[in-house]
A and B are shown apart, each in its own frame.
Chain A
Amino acid sequence: MKLLEGKTALVTGASRGIGRAVAVEFAKQGANLVVNASRASAEMDETVELIKDAGAQVITSIGSVDQEESARAMVGAAVETFGSLDILVNNAGITRDKPLMMMKEEDFDDVISVNLRGTYQCSREAARQMMKQRSGRIIQVSSISALSGRPGQCNYAASKSALVGFTKSLARELGKFNVLVNALYVGVIDTDLTKKMPAAAKKTITANIPLGRVGTPEEVAGPCVFLGSDLSTFVNGTTINISGGGYV
């Protein structure tokens, strides 16, 4: 049985890593996809091909998630093409890791803008449609950095912590519309973002994970399918920890 048969999902930041894995897994589970990235790229084309290979319909919507026009275009594309928007995964995120004393204002602002403002813009636009449908799921991709903090990530950790409060408040606002809002505390996952981490830091982190390894993007996709599916109809305003037990 496909868990997302007939549903339409929008995944931001889908050109690679977690976003791509989520989009492809959603496709395998029967969803139609709108995939977003800030710019067109060969990687994005590859994501689209993988989705098509999984037998799903897909359209792309290129634009920065922190811009209202982009958010409108994404949601509009979903509704015009597929007739609804059932699941939004706010995955797009960036890092500008630096110690606070060396962190420039734009390093802080850029991270907050994409990670938090982008979630605001996309959630707002999606909520408008989902409230009309009286049904929908919004999934925020937060991070264990929000739980534990990490040197050099004041900006990133702040943005990801904010997503948790955002999620809880929005869950309370939209619950009566049968729109469920949840978040993921994502641990260390083998993506381009974590590849930028210093090897020593990565080794220390891995040593603290009981499973003895970092996670894969596909291991984040599974919980996203759960939160997007009818298996989670009473799960609202919570955060799932996907860190291999490294942060409990």
Chain B
Amino acid sequence: MTPLTLEQARAQASARQETTLKLKEALIDCLALEKEPADIPDDCLLFGVGLGLDSVDALEIVVAIESEFGLRVEDEHMKEIRSINSIVDLVISGGELQAEVA
């Protein structure tokens, strides 16, 4: 793997922050969470002790990801729906996969 230049690393970090914010806003909207994006830590678990979501909420999250980012969440990706960070990883890798296919 070729090391990143400083500019590339900054661009990647900035893109990730943007994706994270977009995801939090989408989840707040679709789940009607009474929170601001800043109230949700990036490593916050979505289910159980974290945001306390349930399996029906998981459907909302899948719909939000697919609608917001234009990705298709496949069965094998479902295990990644566990925290903000893990979904952002999925969205970023999904985007890369789609770019490779294109």
Contact = CB atoms under 8 A, between A and B. Distances in A.
Contacts of A128: 62, 66
A173 B67 contact: no
B99 interface: no
A132 B63 contact: yes
Interface string A163-178: 0000000000100110
Contacts of B62: 128, 131
A128 B63 CA distance: 7
A173 B60 CA distance: 11
A173 B56 contact: yes
Nearest to A176: B56
B67 A132 contact: yes
Interface string B17-60: 00000000000000000000000000000000000000010010
B95 to A, nearest CB: 19
A132 B72 CA distance: 12
B54 to A, nearest CB: 11
Contacts of A177: 59, 63
B82 to A, nearest CB: 20
A206 B56 CA distance: 44
Contacts of A173: 56, 59
Nearest to B73: A128
Interface in A101-159: 128, 131-132
A176 B56 CA distance: 9
Interface residues of A, number: 6
Interface in A165-208: 173, 176-177
Interface in B57-87: 59, 62-63, 66-67
Nearest to A174: B59
Nearest to B63: A131
A177 B62 CA distance: 13
In this complex, the member of B59, B62, B66 whose beta carbon has the largest number of chain A beta carbons within 10 angstroms is B59
B26 to A, nearest CB: 12
A195 B24 CA distance: 57
Nearest to B67: A132
A206 to B, nearest CB: 44
A133 B24 CA distance: 21
Nearest to B72: A128
Contacts of B66: 128, 132
A191 B67 CA distance: 41
Nearest to A173: B56
Interface string A75-90: 0000000000000000
A77 to B, nearest CB: 16
A173 B57 CA distance: 10
B65 to A, nearest CB: 11
13 contacts: A128-B62, A128-B66, A131-B59, A131-B62, A131-B63, A132-B63, A132-B66, A132-B67, A173-B56, A173-B59, A176-B56, A177-B59, A177-B63
Interface of A: 128, 131-132, 173, 176-177
Interface of B: 56, 59, 62-63, 66-67
Given A128-B62, A131-B62, A132-B63, 6 more contacts: A131-B63, A132-B66, A132-B67, A173-B56, A173-B59, A177-B59
